[in-house]
Amino acid sequence: MWDLRASGCRRLGAAGSLAVAVGGWAAGTLPVRGGWGLWEPRGSALTVAGALLAYLGLTLLVAAWWRYGVLLARGVRDGVLTTLAWWTAPLLLAPPLYSADVYSYIAQGAMVLEGHDVYGGGPAVLGPDELGWDAAASVGGHWTDTPAPYGPVFLVLAQLVVKVTGGEIVPAVLGMRVLAVGALALIVWAVRGLGGGPGGRDGAVWLAALNPLLLIHVVGGMHNDGLMIGLMLGGVLLAVRGRWVLGSVLVGLAMMVKSPAVVALLFVGVIIARRDGGVRGVVRGLVLPGVVAGAVAAGATVLAGTGFGWVRTQSVAGTIHTALSVSSDLGLGLGLLFGDDPDPVRGVVRQLGLLVAVVIILALAWRAWRGRLDPVLGLGLSLVALVALSPMVQPWYLLWGTAVVAAAAWRSRAGQVLVVLSAALVYETAPSGRTPWYGFVVAGVVAALGLWWTRRESWGGAETAPVAPGLGGAADRAAR
């Protein structure tokens, strides 16, 4: 009989995480070569068994997480950080899971060390006698010849990992996982500091960090989105506490990992404008965070020695079609309907999607400035809108906004919908990193059941997070 108490959820989730990790040794995103005999294909039968075990473990993890959140929403208090440690530990020594992106990171770090222009070519430029050649062989097909879309701060970290490990696959992957765990710690610190809105810190950590979507894609898959989120949230927390200069520095560093963090500058500006008031506050809010973050970006680029090529490579990800991108799917459909070449129509629809996202972000910032919306919640909703309307969407992109919403109002209706989407999207990608058709089917079923659940269960009677006076929510409390 399943123990429905918090302690039972902790054990069930740990068992699920362990099953995901063990299954990954046979069915994970294993390297083409350089696995030291540890991370090697085990034959088709073991691969299928490993995949089934991983899916079973993932289902147990999602069920435990969901039930655990319901208990927290009903007022149960439990050691959330202890639970996080239990659920994270089994993934630490697992091979890469659910994505081959970590091989790109290692190869790009090696490219910097070997003197290649990481913004001018892809990992395919690495030769047999160079560091990172083994990693380059395992890079996903789309990215083999694609320049890095990441900022110099992340490339310096990847370069450091390659230098310390000699570019050997197993230690390099584990080195990247150390960075991922550091990012997880940053996220926990920031969401706890921001308070989580009604319901407190435990619920914020539950939605932001215990989230299975984050565990499998940031800890298991080592996506650098975790580092971007951690730095960005840390910057927002410092701004809320009145240390907006240092906060803008952290947001600038987050931008130099991945560029979507730039949205946070607008809401840091809102926090400044609300605090200072009047025309002076608006001017300071619009100008100063951008100046500080821009200086950080320029300084980081110069110190890294990678050049300013990151400016022109920010759009390379958008050239790849992903089924989760509504604007890309709509553009492709319209293009095929009205002509033989869908690309021009798809390009226009993608641009319109981004334009709509910008309008939504500005509207949310306006509401936050007028005191009708918590600026932190406004940032979270803005990032969700940006992801929903982007030309390329991956499941883990949802974490950008989810972690921020968790920090502001995890018990809100928006938080509840993000819970459903997180639980659904974990199934979209197989442990091998591929996106099989049945993953979308399972994700759709989970989403439908979850949305039906939200109509019946409102987190123990919680309402949408109220708008606080002044800065709103955590920001208002810190300002007083």
CA 181 – CA 319 distance, rounded (Å):
30
Identity of the residue numbered 278: G
Residues 6 or more apart whose Cβ sits within 8 Å of residue 457: 70
- Write down the pLDDT at residue 143: 82
CA 310 – CA 306 distance, rounded (Å):
9
Residue 24 lies in a domain: yes
Q: Which of 251, 475, 272, 273 is nearest to 377 (CA)?
A: 475
Residue 145 lies in a domain: no
Residues 6 or more apart whose Cβ sits within 8 Å of residue 7: 78
Q: Give the residue with greater pLDDT, 322 vs 253.
A: 253
Residue 74 lies in a domain: yes
Q: Which of 231-235, 314-318, 398-402 has the lowest mean pLDDT?
A: 314-318
CA 405 – CA 408 distance, rounded (Å):
5
- In the structure, what pLDDT confidence band is assigned to residue 320 with cuts at 50, 70 and 90? confident
Q: Which of 470, 417, 408 is nearest to 199 (CA)?
A: 408
Residue 125 lies in a domain: no
Q: Is the pLDDT of residue 266 over 50?
A: yes
3-state SS, residue 49: helix
393 alpha carbon, distance to own chain's centre: 11
3-state SS, residue 277: coil
Residue 168 lies in a domain: no
The overall average pLDDT reported for the chain is 90
When computed from its CA atoms, the radius of gyration of the chain, rounded to whole angstroms, is: 22
- Write down the pLDDT at residue 3: 57
Given a contact cutoff of 8 angstroms between Cβ atoms, the answer to whether 355 and 232 are in contact is no
Residue 165 lies in a domain: no
Token match 């997480």: residue? Answer: 65
CA 466 – CA 472 distance, rounded (Å):
9
Read out DSSP for 402-441?
HHHHHHHHTTSHHHHHHHHHHHHHTTSS-TTS---HHHHH
pLDDT in tens, 222-250: 999 999 999 999 999 999 999 999 999 99
3-state SS, residue 222: coil
Residue 442 lies in a domain: yes
Q: Which of 116, 165, 118, 173 is nearest to 143 (CA)?
A: 118
**70 exposure class (CB count in 10 Å sphere: 0-12, 13-18, 19+):** middle
- Write down the pLDDT at residue 329: 87
CA 106 – CA 97 distance, rounded (Å):
15
pLDDT in tens, 92-147: 999 999 999 999 999 999 999 999 999 999 999 999 999 999 999 999 777 898 89
Residue 207 lies in a domain: yes
Q: Is the pLDDT of residue 476 over 80?
A: no
- Write down the pLDDT at residue 373: 95
Query: Structural domain of residue 431, as residue ranges?
Result: 6-99+173-479
If one counts the domains in the chain, the total is 1
3-state SS, residue 357: helix
